[in-house]
Amino acid sequence: MIIDTHAHIGRGERLNDTYQVDQSVDLVLEQMAKAGVHKTCIMPVAYQDYEFAIEEIREAVAAHPDKLIGYARVNLNDEERAFAQLRRAFEEYDFRGLKIHTGLGDGFPTRRLMEMLSEYQRPLLVHTNADVAYIDGVCHMARTYPKVPVILGHGGGFATYYPGFMKLCALEAKNIPNLYLDTAFVLLHQWIAMAVEICGPEKVLYGTDAPGMHPAIPLKQIELCHFSESEQALILGENARKLLGV
C-alpha cells in the first residue's frame, strides 16, 4: 500500500500566495489515481483560524474514507482555541495527526501542545526550513517528548539547494527514535538515498505536498534510488501505517 503522508486542501485566505488557496480535494484524488497512491493524509492550507479548515478536512475524509486520512492544523497563538479544535479533531473526527507551519503563522509547538500529543500519541508534522537553530529546536522537542512521532517535512529543508540540511536531519533521526523525515519537495533523488543510508528506511516517509507537487514525482525519485523491495515498502507505506494506526 502506498500512503502519501503530506498533502493539503482548502480554499485558504492568503490570496497573494497561490499555493495556499484553492487546493481542491478533487485534484488530490485525481493525482492519487494517476500516480497509483492508495491513501493520502490531507491537512489544511494556511488560515488565521482553522475552525473552517478542520471542517473542510472532516467533510473530505467523510466523503472518501477509503482514500483520505485527516490531519488537523491549529494556530498556537490562541492556545485555548487551538487545543479545543485539536481535541475535537482527534476525539470526534478521528484525525490521525497534526501539521504545524511556524513560518506561516501557526507558532512553534509549546510544552502544552506536546503534552497533549503525548496523551494521544499522534504524529506531529512540522514544516522545515534550512535553518540550523530551528532544526535544533525541533530535535530537542522530539527528544523531550518521546511518545510523539515528529516528522520533519521536506527532509529537513524546504526548497533548499544544499544537501547538508537533509544530512543533518537524517543524522538526528538516526539517533532520536521518534524523529522521521518525509520526501515532500526534496530537490534530488540522491538526497533521499543519502538519508536512507544514514538513518535507515524505517525513518523515511513518502510525502509529496500534493497537489502542489504531483505525487508521481516523489514516487519516481524513490524508484530511482533503487531501494530493495523491503526498503521501498517501508518508505512508501509501512512506516506510515505503523505511525498512523491505519
Lowest mean pLDDT among 3-17, 110-124, 213-227: 3-17
Q: Which residue has the cell 506510515?
A: 240
C-alpha 73/C-alpha 104 separation (Å) is 12
Tracing cell 520533519 back to the chain, one arrives at 152
Judged by DSSP in three states, 150 sits in: strand
Mean pLDDT of 65-88: 97
Q: If pLDDT is split at 50, 70 and 90, which confidence band does 89 have?
A: very high
What pLDDT does residue 199 have?
A: 98
Is the pLDDT reported for residue 215 higher than 80?
yes
pLDDT at residue number 183: 97
Grid look-up 526498503 returns 231
- Residues 45-64 have a mean pLDDT of 96
Write down all domains in the chain, each with its CATH number in brackets.
Answer: 3-244 (3.20.20.140)
- Give the pLDDT band of residue 76 (cuts 50, 70, 90): very high
Average confidence (pLDDT) over 193-219: 97
The arithmetic mean of pLDDT across residues 202-215, rounded, is: 97
pLDDT for residue 104: 86
pLDDT at residue 16 above 80? no
pLDDT grade for 57, boundaries at 50, 70 and 90 = very high
Mean pLDDT of the chain: 95
**% of residues, the chain, pLDDT over 90:** 86
Each residue of 111-141: b (16+ CB within 10 Å) or e? eebbebbeebebbbbbbbbbbeebbeebbeb
User: In degrees rounded to 5, what are phi and psi of residue 134?
Assistant: -65, -45
Give the pLDDT confidence score for residue 83 in this predicted structure.
Answer: 97
Segment 167-189 shows an average pLDDT of 96
pLDDT confidence tier of residue 20, bands split at 50, 70 and 90: confident
Residue with cell 488565521: 48
Could you give the angle at the alpha carbon of 218 between the alpha carbons of 158 and 224, nearest 5°?
120
Distance CA 205, CA 232 (A): 10
Q: Predicted confidence band at 158 (pLDDT cuts at 50, 70, 90)?
A: confident
The proportion of the chain whose per-residue pLDDT surpasses 70, expressed as a percent, equals 100
48 CB neighbour count, 10 Å cutoff: 11
Cell of 51: 475552525
Using the predicted structure, report yes or no on whether residue 124 has a pLDDT greater than 80. yes
Q: Is the pLDDT of residue 159 over 80?
A: no
pLDDT of amino acid 130:
82
**Residue 55 — φ and ψ, nearest 5°?**
-65, -35
Beta-carbon contacts of residue 20 (< 8 Å; ≥ 6 apart): 10, 12, 13, 14, 45, 46, 104
pLDDT recorded at residue 185: 92
Phi first, then psi: what are they for 150, rounded to 5°?
-110, 120
The residue whose grid cell reads 473542510 is: 56
What was the pLDDT predicted at 164?
Answer: 86
Contact 46, 13 (CB under 8 A): yes
